[in-house]
Amino acid sequence: MGIKGGNAARIPEHTCHKVIETNTCELQKCIHECSKEPAGVGDCTDYNVCYCTFYCKDPPL
């Protein structure tokens, strides 16, 4: 049995970040690259930087 329309809570301690430098950050490509990570979300934070936020099993040190 599942919850309809529910969103999973992200535990802050298990949130990792990755920066992908490109010539120009294209939002769709950024989202696609970040979606390869578990619960990955991407955003262009600068003209040439794709910033990924994703779930990591082990908290970063």
- The per-residue pLDDT for range 12-51, each reduced to its tens digit, is 778 999 999 989 999 999 999 999 999 999 999 888 999 9
Domain ranges for the chain, please list them.
12-55
Angstrom CA distances, 3 to 6, 8, 18, 25, 38, stand at: 6, 10, 30, 35, 20
- State the amino acid at position 56 in one-letter form: C
pTM, to two decimals: 0.72
* Whether pLDDT at 58 is above 50: yes
